[in-house]
Chains A and B, each alone.
Chain A
Amino acid sequence: MRYASNLALAVSSALFAVAALVACGRNDGGDGSAGAAFTDPPATDAMRLGALRKAALANGFVRSGELAVPVVSARHDVGRLIFASPIMSLNGRISCQDCHLDQFGSADGLPNAIGVGGEGAGAARLHSGGRILPRNVLPFWGRGSRGFDTFFWDGRVQLVDGHVVSQFGVHAPSTDPMIVAAHLPSVEVREMVTDTPQIREGLMSEDVGAAASIQSTLASRFAADPAIGPKLAAAYGLPRDRVSFREVTDALASFIRFNFRIRPTRFERFVHDGGPLSRREMAGGVLFYGRGRCAACHGGPYFSDMKFHSVAFPQAGFGKNGFGVDEGRYNTTLNPKDRFLFRTPPLYNVAKTAPYSHSGSVVRLEDAIVAHFDPLRLVDTREMTVRERSDLYARLGTASRETLPSALTDEEVRQLAAFLRTLSF
């Protein structure tokens, strides 16, 4: 009898302890609620999964195959050689590939780009003594694909009503904005042109003729190159001495279109083929299209509206306008309303392209998300000068007029980051 009583007491005590733990324990994160999840099991909530699919489609998400622009294989093959060739720079020392590396998701892994004079990759390049360019290298994913027609952080090359708007004015070398964009780095001082007194006196005239002069020289070099010249001429059915920079950039654009095309992702398989997502990824997706309001700007087939917006990211480096200031789109349009605006970055492969923001000031993807709704968390204003704080207030002013996300918890930020990782391929 005593044994039975003791057993009953032990069992009831154990049950009570379990009940107390369940009732008093923190929520495990479940389907989007608060609390931290220790594991990430597959999502099974039909309502949320259905809502996420519907929201993605309504916001313009399409299969990656629908975005591809067909290219001629001979042209993208020779474009690959041009991409890796230092002939593209006037001093013959730097290629496109030097700053667009596979290991950094087609960017360079640095906050600010290192142009002419830079050697190596990653931290080695940072310390190599190259000229610093004041903006973060943009990755190439989706560039030149269907509907991707706004280029660079400030949209300095853009297709507007079927016409290319760029610094070439009415002398744009192509009606294809991708090809026009491919014309720019080769004539950008400190990017691929060494900043010397000779260059300043002879070529820094801000006219199309000076750019054409440099590019004609580069085209002649490519035509004369024994590895590239014959293939380039054959790809366009031209004699080698008739190859111009138009063919060089067309081949380069073909390579970028082909090599950096958008490919199927886990999110595509989820939306279009009923593939799985984990609970955390699903919760992040629901936030992305719901309370996070991310899709208000990061909508469309590339997760970018290709418009210009402001997020009060910390500024790293000297800045396009100097003294730690980068006025973004304003530098292109000179319209005061465009101060501190930057083109919404597309999000394919975003998890591979750290650091983030126009100046690469944020290293973690989670912090890049936080910058959208709680930018002051990322800076120590007491350590800043009055000037730096003043610039921050200006950026906060424009950022505050954007569609801001709800205040998200740290766990929700992690859920969003998990969702963004489903856009990798």
Chain B
Amino acid sequence: MRFAYLRNRFVTHAAALIAGAVIAWLALPVWREAVMRWNQRDYGLLVEQCDGAMRDHYQAKMRAADEPSRDTGLALQAGEVGLIVCQDYDLYQKRLVQWGLREDELAQMRLKAIEARAGDLDEVVGTHEIRF
């Protein structure tokens, strides 16, 4: 009798463990989706800001090379300071990875951020087409 009780308890616990694992496995995509939804706005903003900062820095660097002067040098330095937002972007992204998002989900979030501004198909094509 006592043996049966122990066996039943073992079976019950094993069943609970398996059920928990199945629920966790099923819940993981839901969890990831929730994390993506909650962070899309902030992450998308950082994607946009870092993109703008990189472009500004590139243009300032080109200008400083073409027209070296104190002003263009300071503008280049402003571009370098501006790149700090890309550090924020990177840190934010690492935090999302820490909370379970994979590169696929991050890429999806970046894509949404880029396409949030795309008003028509032409803009989407412009973003994605291969340029020779």
A406 and B49: CB pair below 8 A?
yes
Provided the pairs A24-B34, A25-B38 are in contact, do residues A409 and B45 lie with their beta carbons within 8 angstroms?
A: yes
Contacting A at CB under 8 A, from B64-85, are: 71, 74-75, 77-85
B73 CB to nearest A CB, Å:
8
Is the CB of A386 closer than 8 A to any CB of chain B? no
**Complex CA distance for A27 and B53, rounded to whole angstroms:** 20
**Secondary structure of the A side of the interface?**
loop
Closest to A52 in B: B81
B78 and A296: CB pair below 8 A?
yes
- Our pick among B42, B53, B74 for the contact of A34 (Cβ within 8 Å) is B42
Closest to A21 in B: B38
**Complex CA distance for A286 and B85, rounded to whole angstroms:** 9
B5 CB to nearest A CB, Å:
12
| A-side interface residues, number (CB < 8 Å) | 33
B45 and A48: CB pair below 8 A?
no
Contacts of A20 in B (CB 8 A): 34
A23 and B84: CB pair below 8 A?
no
Number of inter-chain CB pairs below 8 Å = 88
Closest to A403 in B: B75
A51 and B34: CB pair below 8 A?
no
A66 CB to nearest B CB, Å:
19
A93 CB to nearest B CB, Å:
47
| B-side interface residues, number (CB < 8 Å) | 30
- Our pick among B77, B83, B92 for the contact of A27 (Cβ within 8 Å) is B92
- Our pick among A19, A55, A299, A403 for the contact of B81 (Cβ within 8 Å) is A55
Contacts of B41 in A (CB 8 A): 34
Contacts of A240 in B (CB 8 A): none
Is the CB of A33 closer than 8 A to any CB of chain B? yes
Contacts of B74 in A (CB 8 A): 58-59, 295-296, 299
B84 and A58: CB pair below 8 A?
no
Contacting B at CB under 8 A, from A20-44, are: 20, 22-27, 30-35
**Complex CA distance for A25 and B100, rounded to whole angstroms:** 15
CB-defined A-B contacts under 8 Å, sample of 14: A20-B34, A22-B99, A23-B38, A27-B92, A33-B85, A33-B92, A34-B41, A52-B81, A55-B77, A58-B77, A290-B53, A290-B82, A291-B49, A296-B75
- Told that A48-B84, A286-B81 touch, could you supply 13 new A-B pairs with CB distance under 8 A? A22-B99, A23-B100, A24-B35, A26-B42, A31-B88, A32-B85, A32-B88, A34-B88, A58-B77, A290-B79, A290-B81, A295-B78, A406-B49
Interface residues of B (CB under 8 A from A): 34-35, 38-39, 41-42, 45-46, 49, 52-53, 56, 71, 74-75, 77-85, 87-88, 91-92, 99-100
Q: Which 5 A-B pairs have the closest CB atoms?
A: A290-B81, A24-B38, A23-B99, A290-B82, A33-B88
